[in-house]
Amino acid sequence: MRRYKNLLFLAGSICMQLCNLLHAQTNSGALIAGDFADPSIIKAKDAYYATGTSSEWAPHFPIYTSKDLQNWKLTGYVFDKAPEWTTGSFWAPEYYFYNNTYYVYYTARRKSDRVSCIGVATSQYPDKGFKDHGVIVSYGKEAIDGFVYNDSGQLYMTFKAYGLDDRPIEILGCRLSADGLTTGGEVFSLLKDNNRMGMEGQSILKKDGYYYLFYSAGSCCGNGCSYNVRVARSKHFKGPYEDYSRNPILQTNEVWKCPGHGTFVEQQDGKQVYIHHAYNKESNVFTGREGMLAELVWSCDNGWPSLVSRQNRHSSGSNMQTSFTEKKIAGHWQWDFRHATPVISQENGRLSLSGTIKEGNSAGIALTVRPVSRLFEIITTVENRNAALKGLVFYGDANAAIGIGTVNDNIEYWMVRDNKRTVLATQKISGSGTVQLKLAIKPGPACEVFYKYKGTAWQQIAPEIKPGIGFLPQWDRSPRPGLHFKGSPNEQAVFSGFELINR
């Protein structure tokens, strides 16, 4: 009997050591590189689809697809135009499939009072054709991070509440109608943040008679983030839930920091994986919260789960070269819809950019792409001359941007910081013809700008001026490089080509 007990003790010890190893494993590559926070994933037929937070960028909620969970391609957006009831803060979209219909439950601020609510849109397809049905959850000062769970045929909506109140945050739940479009019944509490550490981004699975509630704790965003993933379980969907004694089950490691906010999907081999986000420690807020993948492992400690980070390739993080030969605008372009209404067209290798700039916007219109490296160069050729500013930009917000462009017969190196615009340097354009511009982000990080004419070498403008750009990242999103226009609506910028080179 003693020998038997010793064997059991040894087996338990080995199991716990394996658990520790699983908790310690790391990865070195993002699943979907660049700013792709709060991701949700779904499997449809023979492909996977993932959507994530777009925050203040339009179009809203990018959708990526993959056949193998490794190589991902941007295929579209949930909304090409913001739903009428919204004003911004497009966060935490959540996929769900039910009754042969694809649902996306999402968070946005309501235009009438700027309170964050949960809306819902539906489509017959996972990556196009979504119709908005408006607000489905409005609760106090804030209702965010919607997640749907089907408990033996009864649908429930779960969400985070009280994040803006002087009381503990809670994960709440309520009944959801059979068509998935309305909520009803009494709102109940699944889990309360009694330790005041933060709680959101929940996802629920059931196994062996237990409901497992995975959630993110800590501060989600920015240099001071503290995000991690935790789990609690209960024999009943409505609780009470018991927190795992070995939480967190996914946390900062030597390469990635502040992982969290994800959902699960089943692979072809039956294994479940968790798509979530994290900051790369090297590039940090300059590439934002990137899409990551972890494998779910069970029976590590009395049936409790563990999340094992996967080694992923930068399949969506390559260099970019756009030639503007098609009439259709490439899907990777996004813009800050709150501060400008861009007008974009392209054909015969030229892209024209103009539009209406709203009052208080000191930066102008930025047509941007998601950065996947903290160090890069962007290059374009300006084809026309007029009084508008036309060129390249690294854009954080309407009050935080830096760029280089042409104005009449001059090249202008400019910066907007704290909504104050400053011309850093100017250079006279020699002769006629096109001007090629380059904006480079170098270690520091700092910005350098260059120009050249056809057949000449690059010339740096004001090499002694190397402004720091730490003011560009916003709390919930990374800054983005791209093309730029600042002028009257009857003017335009004409570009031939755009290239992004990661360093």
Residues 450 and 357 in one domain: yes
Tokens of 168: 């503990």
Task: Please say whether the beta carbons of 495 and 314 come within 8 A.
Answer: no
Residue 356 CA to residue 341 CA, distance in Å, equals 5
Residue 2 lies in a domain: no
Q: Which residue intervals of 404-487 are DSSP H helices?
A: none
Residues 171 and 240 in one domain: yes
3-state secondary structure of 436: strand
CATH of the domain at 477: 2.60.120.200
Tokens of 281: 């420690």
Average pLDDT of the chain to the nearest whole number: 93
pLDDT tens across 315-368, in order? 456 799 999 999 999 999 999 999 999 999 999 999 999 999 999 999 999 999
Tokens of 379: 């290059």
Q: Say what the pLDDT of residue 23 is.
A: 43
> Is the bond preceding 126 in cis, omega lying within 30 degrees of 0?
no
CATH of the domain at 86: 2.115.10.20
Q: Say what the pLDDT of residue 7 is.
A: 40
Q: Say what the pLDDT of residue 127 is.
A: 97
pLDDT tens across 372-428, in order? 999 999 999 999 999 999 999 999 999 999 999 999 999 999 999 999 999 999 999
HEC per residue, 305-341:
EEEEECCCCCCCCCCEEECCCCCCCCCCCEEECCCEE
The pTM score is: 0.94
Number of domains in the chain: 2
pLDDT tens across 80-109, in order? 999 999 999 999 999 999 999 999 999 999
Residue 9 lies in a domain: no
Catalytic residue chosen out of the listed positions 200, 290, 397, 448:
200
Residue 205 has pLDDT above 90, yes or no: yes
Task: Supply φ then ψ for residue 20, to 5 degrees.
Answer: -60, -40
Provide the percentage of residues in the chain whose pLDDT is more than 90.
Answer: 89
Q: What does the pLDDT average to over 298-304? A: 85
Residues 273 and 348 in one domain: no
Q: Beta strand 256-266 with 480-486: parallel, antiparallel or unpaired? A: unpaired
Q: With residue 15 as reference, give the H or E element that holds it.
A: helix 2-24
Residues 442 and 468 in one domain: yes
Domain stop point among 268, 287, 309: 309
Residue 14 has pLDDT above 60, yes or no: no
Query: Per-residue confidence at 313, pLDDT binned at 50, 70, 90?
Result: low
Residues 78 and 38 in one domain: yes
Residues 341 and 424 in one domain: yes
DSSP string, 259-283: EEEEEEEE-TTS-EEEEEEEEETTT
Q: What does the pLDDT average to over 249-261? A: 97
Q: Say what the pLDDT of residue 145 is.
A: 98
Residues 107 and 246 in one domain: yes
Residue 13 has pLDDT above 60, yes or no: no
Q: What angle do CA 78, 80, 86 make, to 5 degrees?
A: 80
Residue 3 lies in a domain: no
Residues 197 and 107 in one domain: yes
Task: Supply φ then ψ for residue 51, to 5 degrees.
Answer: -130, 155
Between 13 and 286, whose confidence is greater? 286
Residue 5 lies in a domain: no
Residue 325 lies in a domain: yes
Residues 241 and 370 in one domain: no
Domain stop point among 309, 328, 354: 309
**CA 157 to chain centroid:** 23
DSSP string, 32-82: EEEE--S-EEEEETTEEEEE---BTEESEEEEEEESSSSS-EEEEEEESS-
In the sheet that holds 183-192, the strands lie side by side as: 143-151, 154-161, 170-176, 183-192
Q: CA of 72: how far to CAs of 50, 63, 76, 124, 161, in Å?
A: 9, 10, 12, 22, 33
Catalytic residue chosen out of the listed positions 35, 38, 94, 377:
38
Residue 70 lies in a domain: yes
Q: Which class for 135: exposed (0-12), middle (13-18), buried (19 or more C-beta within 10 A)?
A: middle
Tell me, yes or no, if 179 is annotated catalytic: no
Residues 298 and 324 in one domain: no
Q: What angle do CA 276, 282, 288 make, to 5 degrees?
A: 45
Domain stop point among 274, 309, 344: 309
Residue 129 CA to residue 116 CA, distance in Å, equals 24
Residues 349 and 243 in one domain: no
Residues 297 and 352 in one domain: no
Q: Which residue(s) pair with 403 in the sheet?
A: 393, 414
Give Cβ neighbours of residue 13 (< 8 Å, ≥ 6 apart).
Answer: none
| Nearest C-alpha neighbor of 274 from the set 215, 219, 217 | 215
Tokens of 258: 């502040």
> Is the bond preceding 463 in cis, omega lying within 30 degrees of 0?
no
Q: Say what the pLDDT of residue 299 is.
A: 73
Q: Say what the pLDDT of residue 153 is.
A: 96
Task: Please say whether the beta carbons of 375 and 282 come within 8 A.
Answer: no
Report the length, in residues, of the chain: 503
Q: Which domain holds residue 78?
A: 25-309
Tell me, yes or no, if 200 is annotated catalytic: yes
Q: CA of 326: how far to CAs of 75, 318, 404, 493, in Å?
A: 16, 21, 26, 18
Residue 289 lies in a domain: yes
| Nearest C-alpha neighbor of 200 from the set 38, 378, 364 | 38
Residue 199 has pLDDT above 60, yes or no: yes
Residue 277 lies in a domain: yes
Task: Please say whether the beta carbons of 341 and 379 come within 8 A.
Answer: no
